[in-house]
Amino acid sequence: MSLTLTRPELVRSHNFIAGLWRDALSGGRHPVSDPATGAEFANVPDSAAADAQAAADAAHAAFDSWRDRTARERAQFLKRWHAAIVANGEDLARIISREQGKPLAEARGEVAYGASYVEWFAEEAVRAYGDMIPALMPGKRMMAVKEPVGVVAAVTPWNFPLAMIARKIAPALAAGCTVVAKPAEDTPLTALALVRLAEEAGLPAGVLNIVTASRGQTPATVASWLADPRVRKITFTGSTPVGKYLARESADTLKKLSLELGGNAPFIVFDDADLDAAVTGLMAAKFRNGGQTCVCPNRVYVQSGIYDAFARKLVERVAALRVGPATRDDSQIGPMINARAVEKIERHVEDALAHGATVLTGGRRLSGDGLDGPNYYAPTVLGDANREMALFSEETFGPVAPLFKFDDDADVIREANDTPFGLAAYFYSTDVRRIWRVASRLESGVIGINEGAVSSEAAPFGGVKESGYGREGSRYGLDDYMHVKYLCQGGLA
Ligand code: SIN
C-alpha cells in the first residue's frame, strides 16, 4: 500500500528536540509496520533515556518564556496550528490510515476530531480565569490565580494517533506548559507530522519536543521523565496496568497525573427502547475504528422481551459491514493494529464459544477477496454471552459485540457496574424516570443516553474507578494543566 501525499515532507523520520530534527543519540531506528501485513514501510529513531533527557532539558529551558507570553499569543499560535492541520488534513488522514489501518473516511474524521481540540483550547486559553475572594479582614486582598504546572510529559496511544496527542498537547500549550511527548510505537508518523505543522505554525524552540521509541525502549525513555523532578505532570492514555505503573513511579516527585485508562463499557437496551435507534447507536459506538477504542461497548445487555428482535436487526447491520484495506474507498473496517490484537480477539471468541456463546455473524479471521494480510477480523455478534466468559471482564478491543440477556433493571445495573473500570456506559430507554435513575446509578465517567457517539471537544472525557482520573476536552480540560496559586496582599488598610 503506497503513501502518496501532496506534501511528502510531512513524513518525518527524526525526533524533534529544541527546535531541531535529530537522530536518536545511539543512532538506533525502529520500524513502522503496515498493520495488515506486519511489513515495515518506514522507520523512526529508537530513542533511549538520554534522548528523553535532552527533550526534558529543552522543555525546561523553554518554560519561562512560553508561560510569560500572554494567553492571547499562545492562543494565536494554536489557531495557526489548527489552520495548518485543517489545510493538510488529507495528507494527515493518509498517514493515519497507513500506519494505523483505519479506513480513509474514518481517518478524515479523526483529523477533524483532533483539530477540534486544538481550536477549542485556543479559545479556552484566554479564559483561564481565577477568583477574587472576599477578604475577611480589613486591609487585605485575597485572590486565586491559575498557573501552568510546568513541563508536561505526554504518552499517547495508537488507536487515535492524531486526536489523542492533540487533545493533550493543545491544553498543555494553551495553559503555558511546555511538552515532551512520546507517541505509540505503532503509530509515530502522524505525531511527527503534527509537530512538523506546529513548527510551520511558528512553534518556538523547546516548547514542544517529541521522541519516538520501540516497545523495548519505551520503558527506559518514559522512566527518565518519571524520575525527573522538572517534569511536573504526566498525561497518559493507555492500559490500566501501565497507568498504575506511572502513578507508582511518579510518586517520588509527586507529579500531577491525568490517566485515561482501560474501559469495559456496558451498552444496555431496555424493553421500552427505540430498537432501530439502539442498533444505530451500537453500530456507531461498537464498530468505530474496528472496535479499537476505550469507549467501545464491550458488553451489550438486551432485555429479554426484545432480545430476539434486537439481535435480528443488529446481525443484519453487522453482516453488511464492508471489511477491507484502509485505502479502499468503500471499506468500513480495516485491519486490526497488529497480529497480537487479532490473537486476543480470537482468544476471546474461542473462550466465549467454550462457555456457551453462539456466533450470530462473523466469528473468524477474514482473508482473500482483496484483503492484503492476516490481520482482518470479521465484524462479529455473539449470542448467549455470560459472565463466565473472558470478554465479560476483559476489554476485547476488536469488532465483537457479545449479547447478554437480562430481565430486571436492578440486576443489569449491578452487572454493568461489576467491573473495576468506569470509562463509558450507554443505555437506550424512552422512560424518563428510568433514564434518570439509570444515569445516576451507572459508575462511569461518560454516559451515552439514547446516543452512541458521545465524544466531543466540548465535553469532559475521562473515567472513574480504574479507568483513571483527569478530564480531557471541555472547560475542565485546561485545569488539568494548571494549578491554583493563592495570593494574599496585606497592608492596604
Ligand atoms: C479512546 O479510545 O481512548 C478515545 C476515544 C474517543 O476520544 O472517543
- 337 and 244 part of one domain: no
Kindly give the distance from the C-alpha atom of residue 237 to the centroid of ligand 1, in angstroms, as a whole number: 9
pLDDT value at 2 more than 80: no
The span from the CA of 25 to the CA of 428, in Å, is 54
83-131 pLDDT per residue, tens: 999 999 999 999 999 999 999 999 999 999 999 999 999 999 999 999 9
For residue 2, is it within any domain? no
- CATH classification at residue 286: 3.40.309.10
Distance between CA atoms of 238 and 146, rounded to whole angstroms? Answer: 28
Does residue 253 share a domain with residue 281? no
The binding-site residues of ligand 1, defined as CB within 6 angstroms of any ligand atom, are 159-160, 237, 260, 293-295, 455, 461
CATH number of the structural domain spanning residue 28: 3.40.605.10
Radius of gyration, CA atoms only, the chain: 23
pLDDT 10s digits, 457-480 = 999 999 999 999 999 999 999 999
Query: From CA 411, how far away is CA 95, in angstroms rounded?
Result: 45
In angstroms, what CA-CA distances link 452 with 96, 267, 297, 436, 471? 23, 9, 9, 17, 20
In terms of domains, do 363 and 471 share one? no
| DSSP-assigned beta bridge partners for residue 464 | 422
Asked whether residue 492 is assigned to any structural domain, the reply reads: no
DSSP letter assigned to residue 153: E
Pocket test for ligand 1, best of 187, 293, 467, 474 (most atoms within 8 A of CB): 293
Q: Tell me whether residue 119 is one of the annotated catalytic residues.
A: no
* 134 shares its domain with 29: yes
| Averaged confidence pLDDT in the chain | 97
The dihedral formed by the CA atoms of 8, 90, 455 and 12, expressed in degrees to the nearest 10: 0
Position 392 scores a pLDDT of 98
Cβ(426)–Cβ(270) below 8 Å? no
Which atom of ligand 1 lies closest to the CA of 159?
2
Q: Is the pLDDT of residue 1 over 80?
A: no
Same domain, 248 and 312: no
Q: Which domain holds residue 93?
A: 8-261+467-486
Query: Is residue 33 located within the same domain as residue 82?
Result: yes
The structural domain count of the chain equals 2
Indicate whether 169 and 215 sit together in one domain: yes
CA of 290 to the centre of ligand 1 (A): 13
Higher-confidence residue: 280 or 1? Answer: 280
Same domain as 37, residue 177: yes
Q: 270 and 168: one domain?
A: no
- The cell 455478534 sits on which residue? 381
Residues 248 and 337 in one domain: no
Say if residue 425 is in the same domain as residue 307: yes
pTM of the model: 0.97
Q: Does residue 226 sit in the same domain as residue 270?
A: no
Structure confidence at residue 175 as a pLDDT band (50, 70, 90)? very high
Q: Could you tell me if residue 204 is inside a domain?
A: yes
Average pLDDT over residues 431-445: 98
Q: How many CB atoms neighbour CB 270 within 10 A?
A: 22
pLDDT digits (tens, 9 = 90+) for 210-246: 999 999 999 999 999 999 999 999 999 999 999 999 9
Residue 460 lies in a domain: no
Q: Is residue 368 a part of any domain in this protein?
A: yes
| Distance from C-alpha of 60 to C-alpha of 205, rounded to nearest angstrom | 11
